[in-house]
Each structure stands twice: as C-alpha cells, then as structure tokens.
C-alpha cells in the first residue's frame, strides 16, 4: 500500500477482526486500521494527510521514507564486475545499479 511516497505494512488482527497498518521507513509512529480494504485504504490516506498537515502546522519537515542514498558493502570482486557491467553499458555504476535494482522489483 502506497500513498504520496509513503508505504505501509498491513496485518490482520484476528482478535479485533480488522486490518492494522503502519507506515514504514520513518521514525514517527503512524498507524491506521480498517475492517475492510476500502476502509483501510481510506484510513491510510487520512493518516498520511494528517501527518503532513501536522508537520506543516508545527513548522517541521515531514520525514521522507527514503533519501535515495543506499550504501552497500560488497566484496571487491563483485564491485569489479559491477564496474565492468556499467562501463559495458556506457553508464556510471550508480546509474547501472539503479536500473538493475529497479528491474528486480
């Protein structure tokens, strides 16, 4: 589930017979729930909109789920293979890796 760049994990709570979700990738705890997928989706969007409005009202920047930077530690031989692949495709390691990772979805 995704809305305005925020993604969430959803689980079913059998005790209360509802779906419960939590926004991922930020330190602020934002949760939502619904008895149906339609209600869950609506509450998710409301929670994100409320979070963004609260940030604006209090003058703070909303946390972004991900910065776009990804630091990896890989073995030197893998790094070398990636460099060769990027050069073969006439692109930077960063651009090559971004394309390969996007295709892995």
**Where do the structural domains in the chain lie, given as residue ranges?**
2-58, 70-105
**pTM for this entry:** 0.66
What confidence score (pLDDT) does residue 62 get? 93
CA distances to 21, 31, 34, 83 from 16, rounded to whole Å, are 14, 15, 10, 52
In the numeric block, the tokens 């892995």 are attached to 104
What confidence score (pLDDT) does residue 11 get? 96
- Please list the ranges in the chain whose pLDDT falls under 50: none
What confidence score (pLDDT) does residue 82 get? 92
What confidence score (pLDDT) does residue 88 get? 93
Q: By C-alpha distance, which of 38, 1, 41, 33 is closest to 17? A: 33
**Token pair belonging to 59:** 């003058």
Q: By C-alpha distance, which of 66, 69, 72, 52 is closest to 24? A: 66
């Amino acid at each position: 589930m995704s809305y305005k760049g925020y993604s969430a994990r959803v689980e079913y709570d059998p005790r209360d017979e509802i779906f419960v979700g939590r926004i991922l990738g930020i330190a602020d705890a934002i949760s939502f729930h619904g008895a149906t997928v339609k209600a869950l989706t609506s509450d998710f969007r409301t929670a994100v909109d409320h979070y963004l409005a609260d940030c604006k009202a209090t003058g703070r920047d909303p946390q972004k789920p991900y910065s776009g930077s990804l630091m990896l530690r890989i073995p030197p031989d893998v790094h070398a293979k990636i460099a060769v692949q990027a050069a073969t495709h006439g692109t930077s390691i960063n651009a090559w890796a971004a394309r390969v990772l996007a295709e892995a979805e």
